[in-house]
Structure 1
């Protein structure tokens, strides 16, 4: 597979298939425990049945967020709004140099402060947070960008 996108999608599909099979096996075990009767086996069976439900919710939520983020990335790329990080200095690990990432972050944050209700600025800020190493703020800001873009499409 030469196309890296196809490779990533194939890996995700395989992992989801493995998880679904695992959830199926857990469900079978839970039903078998409940079928034994008795307080302890039924309690354990219910607990085991809850695990695949939680797992399915996590997988669905993660995939939905990934598709939404990919949609924003494609729109930003099409509009020429992706952050240009190709020529930035990098550490031996491949990550962008911290000082360079912080300088880029300051610039992008100023853009966002000028128009915080624009999904494009929130998307760029989320990417800048990610490059600067602040993953929790990157996720939070990306959720905001997704919501703003969804609102824009519906308006």
Structure 2
């Protein structure tokens, strides 16, 4: 299912780039200072948006690959606490659990599996920014 979503996003990106370039050419052809400025902005911003989307897709693919590998090895963190209806760790349980997984990841700084588990627990605790950083580090470590 997620592969279909990625394919749709890729197709939408291509359509967006074609339309943005076409509009940029049209704006530049008008020749007024405002239209030239808009054309240049489209030429700069469209590839920048495409780059950001491609980077996010690369992150998603790499994180999914590591998650599937860790799950196949039986190394995903078990559910140790009661979860909220949204699937998050209860606030009272989040801090000690994250601290424990952080200590485990710090004890094995070159182990991508420990860093990925930390990211999973941080995500379940609602700490998205920290989770993304941990999973990004796990991706980097897995390539070494």
Tell me the TM-score normalized by structure 1.
Answer: 0.83
Match of 1:50 in 2: 44
Aligned equivalent of 2:109, options 112, 116, 122: 116
Match of 1:14 in 2: 8
For the residue of structure 1 that corresponds to 2:7, the secondary structure is helix
Which runs of structure 2 are paired with 1:54-133 in the superposition (5 Å)?
A: 54-85=48-79, 88-133=81-126
Tell me the TM-score normalized by structure 2.
Answer: 0.88
Query: 1:46 Cα shift?
Result: 0.6
Match of 1:142 in 2: 135
Match of 1:4 in 2: none
Find the aligned partners of 1:104 and 1:93 in 2 and give their Cα distance: 18
Query: 1:39 Cα shift?
Result: 2.6
CA RMSD between the two structures? 1.7
**In the alignment, is the contact (CA less than 8 A) between 1:23 and 1:55 conserved in 2?**
no
Find the aligned partners of 1:47 and 1:144 in 2 and give their Cα distance: 34
Relative contact order (alpha carbons < 8 A, sep ≥ 6): 1 or 2 greater?
2
Find the aligned partners of 1:82 and 1:102 in 2 and give their Cα distance: 19
Match of 1:3 in 2: none
Q: How many residues matched?
A: 144
Find the aligned partners of 2:94 and 2:35 in 1 and give their Cα distance: 54
